[in-house]
Structure 1
Amino acid sequence: MSLLSLKSVRTDIGQYAVLHDVSFEVPEGGVFVLLGRNGAGKTTTLRSIMGLWTPSPGSITFRGQDITAMHTADIARLGIAYVPENMGIFGTLTVDENLVLATATGRIDPDRLKWVHGLFPALETFRDKQAWSLSGGQKQMLSVARAIIEPRDLILIDEPTKGLAPSIVDAMAEAFREIAETSTILLVEQNFGFAKKLGRDMAVIDDGRVVHAGSMAEFAADRALQDRLLSLSM
């Protein structure tokens, strides 16, 4: 059984149909990458999974349970976390306060915090600083850290490398590899070099529909298919 399954998902935003017929399966473990041109529907797919927008028709199941019409808070309690493109951190709170706020109980497990600090050492160095004062890369680290400060089965991450320096992107890749050892990551990413290093499975969305799905290794080896589906220089 797949960890996450989308079947014939359609999502309308106002009078516009953004997703027309999205179907794909995310197996448990590793990194699943969702690719596509700007405006293809990738972010809308993540927001639909998280219950921020409700698909109709279509279905979304997580560990065999239908979550299509569930509230976002209830979906989160099932073990799904979401890292939005805008990061979603609280600028006037400290790094530590942001992490505490992301827990269910208001208490952070010390061993878990030590692990998170190992992935992102800057968050330990600047733990008492307000989040607004962090660099762009450090804010992205904090956003991911909030999603993993408690164990999660599935983490949805939207464009984590956007605008980041290459050294920060490399550090993020190493962190994602370790996170994916215990959680499944569904990653939306425009940086194909970053995506192909991490992804085991993938799907391409175009105009609100999945137009290709399969192995990342096979897709990364097919330059003509990349150019046809993404219209990007790889």
Structure 2
Amino acid sequence: MSLLSLKNMKTQIGQYHVLHDITFDVPEGGVFVLLGRNGAGKTTTLRSIMGLWQPQPGSVVFKGRDISRLATADIARLGIAYVPENMGTFGGLTVQENLVLATAGGRFDQTRLQRIYTLFPALEQFWTKQAWSLSGGQKQMLAVARAIIEPRDLILIDEPTKGLAPAIVAAMGEAFREIAQDTTILLVEQNFNFARSLGRDMAVIDDGRVVHRGSMADFAADTDLQGQLLGLSA
């Protein structure tokens, strides 16, 4: 069963037609990776799913319900979280306060909080520090932690490894594997090695169109196709 299904989704921003008939299904469970060159339309796809940019003709179906005309807040309440490329943390608030804002009723479920401490120990260490004082990797951990502080069915994550040190990237990969055991992840990622280490299914977007869909294992084994669609080379 598909958790999320996009069919003929189009998005226009001002006079520009950015997405053209985007169609793919995200199965429930695991990590689905959305690949593509810079400017291909990956971020626009995530933002359109979240209702931040309103898709035009076409549909966005989540758990059997068309959400393409819902407001962003209503989409979030259905169980979708979004971690944007800029992380979206509140620099003047502490780690604790950033997480409180993402909870229901301003109270922590202690089991989920302990899970976050296990996944991202630095957040417990810097619990009372303002977010602006965190490193880039720690801010990314905080952004992901906000997405999972409440139960979610789907998390959209945009370029989580951008600018991070290899050790932080490796730690992030381990955290995503743990999260994906009970929450589906739709991941936009330029780091192909990171993406293929996590992804089960994938799609490639180019110039606002889906040009390839399939399993990550098959795509990772086809270096010619990687070069053709992503410009990658051995």
**TM-score in same-fold range (> 0.5):** yes
TM-score (norm 2): 0.99
Residue 55 of structure 2 is matched in structure 1 by: 55
Mind listing any 5+ residue stretches in structure 1 that lack a counterpart? none
Mind listing any 5+ residue stretches in structure 2 that lack a counterpart? none
Residue 184 of structure 1 is matched in structure 2 by: 184
* In structure 2, distance between residues paired with 1:232 and 1:220: 11
- Describe the SS at the equivalent of 2:81: strand
- Describe the SS at the equivalent of 2:2: coil
1:84-137 CA distance string (max 9 Å, x none): 000000000000100000112111111110000100000000000000000000
1:173-207 CA distance string (max 9 Å, x none): 00000000010000000000000000000000000
1:135-156 CA distance string (max 9 Å, x none): 0000000000000001100000
Residue 88 of structure 1 is matched in structure 2 by: 88
Q: Alignment length, in residue pairs?
A: 234
* In structure 1, distance between residues paired with 2:123 and 2:95: 7
1:29-79 CA distance string (max 9 Å, x none): 000000000000000000000000111111000011000000000000000
Q: How far is the alpha carbon of 1:233 from its aligned partner?
A: 3.3
TM-score (norm 1): 0.99
Residue 71 of structure 2 is matched in structure 1 by: 71
Amino acid at match of 1:65: R
* In structure 1, distance between residues paired with 2:102 and 2:157: 16
> What is the percentage of aligned positions where both structures have the same residue?
78
- Describe the SS at the equivalent of 2:10: strand
* In structure 1, distance between residues paired with 2:220 and 2:136: 29
Structure 1 segment 1-234 matched on structure 2, within 5 A: 1-233=1-233
Amino acid at match of 1:202: M
* In structure 2, distance between residues paired with 1:105 and 1:196: 37
